[in-house]
Structure 1
Amino acid sequence: MDTSTVAAILISLVFSVGAQAPVLSIEPRVVSVRQGESISIRCIVDGREHPFTREWKKSHSLPLADNVKVSPDGSVLTIADAQPDNQGQYRCVVFNYAGRTSGTAVLNVRYPPTVTLTPAGPLRVRVGEPVSIECRGTGRPRPTLKWKRQGSTLDLVTKATEDVNTIEWAVVRPEDSGVYACQAQNNEGMTEVKVEMTVQGGQGAPLASVAVKEITAVQGHTVTMECHASGTPKPVITWSKLRAPLPWKHTVSGSVLTVTDVGRQDSGQYICNATNTHGYSEAYVQMEVESPPYATCLPDQVRVRAGDSLRLQCLAHGSPPLSFQWRRAGRASLAPSAETTSDGRLLIAQVKVTDSGTYKCVASNHIGSSEALAKVTVKSELRVGTETTG
């Protein structure tokens, strides 16, 4: 072995012994961007006394997408116009004579929902057939899915899993014809896809309808609901309430349902059912009963000493939104130091004897108002004197 070969081997051994595996850091390690935004991830190597090589890879050894670029020295990976497919882990691998080291960055791409309906429609089905329409939503964050019928504000009862929401009819009826919309929503936006379904009925099949589908009533009033039905032979009409019996203060005359002295417990969905020998049909009325406030004061009687704090709370039941106003009974006004809050509290930090009296809380909503009283007695401070004689 000649002298030059021995020298080369010795130099290589000395270099290898002194070399250390590279130390690197990734910045940022976890990053979240919106679809269409750009992001750069840096692979920083600590210690450059020995030659090293950098290489970027995507998880599962997938090739880098066309919109992913690496700087000439490998230190920066840039993703331009980020898309959902860019989401995942990116690994920077650094090699030198002593070995290799890697670091990973995680990229999340947020994007608005996309919706797919199966079947896409339009649908033409016959009376009595079972029908189901599947709505599949994708997006990040994962969107929430719900179905609505065009012309109605009610959410439909459906069967939902993580990414799929399915609307089903065990037996379709003529009144089920219409346009249905699946809505998918997340923090990045909302997407709606519609499908039209036409139910073709046999001759003489009943078809129920109501003139008013949504009713807002005031507590204590009387409400009437009228149902119409076509078909041969003439359908028999009955009324029921979803998941509850009809109110006990109700009467049915022909096709008209009357509910007297309605209360908030009478809110809900009322169902008109028309039946003949060819089948049945349903129509729905949604009733919401609103009530005026009923106010109370806590406490309604209070005794305090001058200089103490006074706290009164006005509570009210009734249809929201509720507002509160405090007054003094009679002509006296609230003390200048009195503070009131939007949730019905009254506070006087240091009461005086002149603050004694009756306080009135007025709770109001768009239907009416209610008053509640609190009697406040303020006693003067006790003074202890010393009597002397000369």
Structure 2
Amino acid sequence: MNISDEPRFAVEGSNVTVVVGRDAALLCTVENLHNYKVAWLRVDTQTILTIGPHVITKNHRVGVSRSDSQTWSLTLRDVRPSDGGRYMCQINTEPMITQTHILQVFVPPDIVDSSSSSEVMIREGDNVTLHCAASGTPQPTILWRREDSALLTVNGKSVLKWKGEWLNMTSVERQMNGAFLCIATNGVPPTVSKRIVLHVLCKPTANMTQKMIGGYLGESVQLQCMIEANPPPVVHWTHINANRLPNGSKYQASMTSQGYKHTAVLKVNNVSRDDIGSYHCYAENSLGVESDDITLYTLATTTVTTTSTTYETTKMDTTSSQPYAELNPNDEMYEKDSFEEDNYVVVLSQHQMQSLDHPPSS
């Protein structure tokens, strides 16, 4: 037999990439095969898979076919990560000739829960390290971000995202309280993520939305206190005598929360002169207690009749210790003799009434 008639490989060995769970095919093209046979072997285990058209291995996922007179195809169904490696196409000449093919099995990313952070609890001002481990082929890249898309503070810098298995944050502030997402990707869909909740424990702060508020006699008024605290605080309200106000028909206390931010509301029903004065909002958790105050004054609308005109004026009730607007007897619509003399009552002009519609805020 001439050298030109001897069996030879028509193309070079292939490098095939397939995603786990799919089927893979390795092609071996031989010219001048004559009566020789083509065999497929697994290199790392030296396992004979096929000889000619016959499957030798007991692995039911392995198959062999001949697409034309020169091409022998080794097929692997439902590829697994363990199928990755080197495969050899062999012709039984003397000496034998071989060709190597490489199968790469890509695996989508997966978060390794046992090696990753879960819920983490620290005190405000402490340092914290979050870890996210992922497996996959190729090795996944880890990206961190806040679930609410707020900024991260890493190494003194504010960033939207951070890359790496480890997220190190120093002197953590209460604003970092919430859920973090570690996202693993390696170019093989689907991308996966893990939700890690960071609890930043902080002592309460309390701030009234206003320092003074007016309420009409006989109606209701709401006092609002903005609180930051984690764990969530226990809130109570007091009036002048420092006794806790009971929750009932007269006083109705409620609180709504979002993360470490809380809004406490005290509704005072059927406002009377007895309700005048300062109210304190107390917020307490295991790390401390904080309070703030607000002053309630009362308003009453009264009709004043003169010989030719009927006016509506407003009375403002306040305690003698609370300042009130000075009145000018020359102001329009001022009637100094229209009410009985009362230390708790002042009569306001139209201009001053308009000012009362917008109580000063803190």
TM-score, length basis structure 1: 0.41
Query: Which structure has the greater CA radius of gyration?
Result: 2
